[in-house]
Amino acid sequence: MTGASTPTGLTSKQKRTVAGGSIGTLMEYYDYYLYGLASAAVFPAVFFSTNDPIMAQLSSFATFAVGFLLRPVGGIVWGIVGDRVGRKAVLMITVVGMGIATTGIGLIPPDYMIGATAPILLIVFRMFQGFFVGGEMGGAATMVVENAPVGKKGFYGAFLISGAGIANVVSGGFMAALGLGEGSWFLEWGWRIPFVFSAVLAIIAIVLRHKLEESDEFIETQNLQIASAGKKANPLIEVFRHPKNAIMGILIGLPQSIAGYVVLTYGLSFMVSGQGLPAWMGFAGTMIVGILQIFVAPLWGAISDRIGRRTVYIIGCLGFAAMVYPTFMLFTTGNMWLIWLGQILGFVVFGVAMQATLSTMLVEMFDAEARTTGVNIGYQFSNTLGGGFAPLICTALVAAAGGAFWPVVIYSAVIAVVGVIATLLASVRPDTEDAGRLHVLAATQNIPTVKKKVTSR
C-alpha cells in the first residue's frame, strides 16, 4: 500500500465504533462457538438421547447446520436495511435478536420431558439465531472500517476478531468450568448457564451501541444519491450490477468459515466421540485459543496494512491447509498439552490470519451504497456453505473412512485452494486517501467526481 498520513490516536467516535462493533462480533461468535461446543458434547445426550451415538451426533450437528440456512436471508434483509436506513439501526436490532434466541435455547427442556418438541424448539431458536446473526458482521465490519483511520483499517477491523477471541474465552471457559463438575448436573443444568448469559451480553452491547454514529462516507453517499436521482439506490441491485466481487466474496470466505469449525467444533467431537477424551479438555483448549486470538488478530490486521489484505489472506489459506494433518495427529495422542498445541497450530496461527483480514477486505470490495449488503452476502453465504456444514461433513467423511481423518485433510485443502484463487481474482480498493470508488454509482454517472476507478491491490 502507498503511504498515507494517519492520526496518532482514535477520536471518541472511532473508539465508540470499535467497541460497539467488537461487542456484537463477540456475541455472534459467542453464540455460535457455544452452540458448536454444545452440539459436539451436550445436545446428543440432551435432545437426541433416543438415537444411537453416531446418529445422535449427526442429528446434533444437523441442527448446527440448520442455523446457517437463515444467515444469508438475514444477511440480505439486514444488509439492505443497513445500506438504506443506516448501520446503527441494524446493529441494535440484531444484537437484541441474538440475545433472545440464544437465551431461549438455554431454557428448552430435555427430550425425556417433552419428547420431540425439544429438538423442534432447538431448531426454531437456532434458525432465529441464524437470521439475526446474518446481519451482524456486515453492519459491524462496515461501520468499524469506514470510521477507521486511513492506513490502519486492517488493524482496527481486526478488533472484531479480537471480540471473537473473547467469545472463545468466555464460551470455552464457561463450558470447561461447568463440565468439571458432576456429569449429570452439567447435562441437566450446567450447560444452560452460558446460554442464558447471552442476555447479559446483549444488554452490554445495547449500552455500547446506542451512541454509535454513521461514517462520513456513508452520509455523503446517501446525500449524493438523493441529490442526483431523488432516491436511494437499491443495495441488492447495486451489488449485482457488478457481480464479480459478490461471487468472489462468497468463495474467498469459505476457508476462514471452515477453519474454526473443523479444528475446534468437529475437533472436539473427534476427541470426545472418537478418542474417548473428556469434553472439558477441548473446552479448555478453546479458551486458550480465544486468549491468543485476542492478540493475534490485531497483529495480522496490522501486517495486512503493511503488505496488503490479499497477501495475508492467501498466507492464511495455505497455512491452514498445511496444519490440518498435524493438528489431528496431535488430537490422537490423548495428551492434553499436545491437544492444546494442535488447537493452537490448527486455528490460531493461520485461521485467525484469515478471519482478521476477511471483514476488512470484504468492506474494501464494495462501495458505500451497497457495502453492508455486499459484505453480508460474501460473509454469510460462505459461512453457510462452508462453516455451517463443516462439522456434519467431517463427521460423515470420517465415519465413511472407518475413523481415519485423512478425508478432513483433503476437504480442508480443497476449500483453501478455492479461497486462494478467489482472492487473486477479486477487486479490492486500496486503503489510501485517494482510493476513490470501485465503480461509478448508477445514479451519478454524469458527475465527474465519482467516475474515478481505482486499481485493486
In a domain, 1, yes or no: no
Q: Give me the pLDDT at residue 455, please.
A: 44
Over range 319-323, report the average pLDDT.
96
Q: Give me the pLDDT at residue 300, please.
A: 97
The answer, yes or no, to whether residue 156 has pLDDT greater than 80, is yes
Q: Give me the pLDDT at residue 218, please.
A: 81
Which pLDDT band holds residue 183 (cuts at 50, 70, 90)? low
Cell of 269: 467431537
In a domain, 457, yes or no: no
Over range 103-123, report the average pLDDT.
92
- Separation of alpha carbons 55 and 44, rounded Å: 9
In a domain, 334, yes or no: yes
The closest of 155, 138, 149, 140 to 304, measured between CA atoms, is: 155
Which pLDDT band holds residue 136 (cuts at 50, 70, 90)? confident
Do the beta carbons of residue 312 and residue 304 sit within 8 Å?
yes
Q: Give me the pLDDT at residue 181, please.
A: 61
The closest of 195, 227, 204 to 105, measured between CA atoms, is: 195
Q: What is the CA radius of gyration of the chain?
A: 21
| Mean pLDDT score of the chain | 85
- Separation of alpha carbons 410 and 412, rounded Å: 5
In a domain, 247, yes or no: yes
Read off the DSSP letter of residue 346. Answer: I
Which pLDDT band holds residue 180 (cuts at 50, 70, 90)? low
Which pLDDT band holds residue 6 (cuts at 50, 70, 90)? very low
- Indicate the pTM of the whole model: 0.81
Task: Give me the CATH number covering residue 279.
Answer: 1.20.1250.20
Q: Give me the pLDDT at residue 29, please.
A: 77
Q: Give me the pLDDT at residue 22, please.
A: 76
Q: Give me the pLDDT at residue 314, please.
A: 97
What's the domain count of the chain? 1
Of 121-125, 209-213, 255-259, 381-385, least confident by mean pLDDT is 209-213
Over range 180-191, report the average pLDDT.
76
Do the beta carbons of residue 237 and residue 332 sit within 8 Å?
no
In a domain, 43, yes or no: yes
Which pLDDT band holds residue 442 (cuts at 50, 70, 90)? low
Do the beta carbons of residue 252 and residue 426 sit within 8 Å?
yes
Q: State the residue for C-alpha cell 455472534.
A: 28
Instruction: Give the count of beta carbons closer than 10 Å to the beta carbon of residue 151.
Output: 19
pLDDT per position as a tens digit, 198-210 = 999 889 888 888 8
Helix, strand and coil content of the chain, in percent to the nearest 5, comes to 80, 0, 20
Q: Give me the pLDDT at residue 50, please.
A: 74
Read off the DSSP letter of residue 109. Answer: P
pLDDT per position as a tens digit, 258-293 = 998 899 888 888 887 777 788 778 888 888 888 999
Percentage of the chain modeled with pLDDT above 70:
93
Q: Which domain holds residue 394?
A: 13-450
In a domain, 456, yes or no: no
Of 169-183, 242-256, 420-434, least confident by mean pLDDT is 169-183
Which pLDDT band holds residue 369 (cuts at 50, 70, 90)? confident
Read off the DSSP letter of residue 446. Answer: T
Do the beta carbons of residue 35 and residue 47 sit within 8 Å?
no
Of 10-19, 107-116, 315-324, least confident by mean pLDDT is 10-19
Which pLDDT band holds residue 448 (cuts at 50, 70, 90)? very low
- Listed as own residue / partner, the contacts of 435-442 with beta carbons closer than 8 Å and 24 or more positions apart are 437/367, 438/242, 438/245, 438/365, 438/366, 438/367, 439/241, 439/242, 439/367, 441/221, 441/224, 441/225, 441/228, 441/233, 441/238, 441/367, 441/369, 442/233, 442/238, 442/241
3-class SS of residue 437: strand
Of 20-34, 249-263, 279-293, 410-424, least confident by mean pLDDT is 20-34
In a domain, 159, yes or no: yes
The answer, yes or no, to whether residue 7 has pLDDT greater than 60, is no
Which pLDDT band holds residue 9 (cuts at 50, 70, 90)? low
Instruction: Tell me the CA end-to-end span of the chain in Å, nearest whole number.
Output: 8
Q: State the residue for C-alpha cell 451519478.
A: 444
Of 14-18, 252-256, 412-416, least confident by mean pLDDT is 14-18
In a domain, 2, yes or no: no
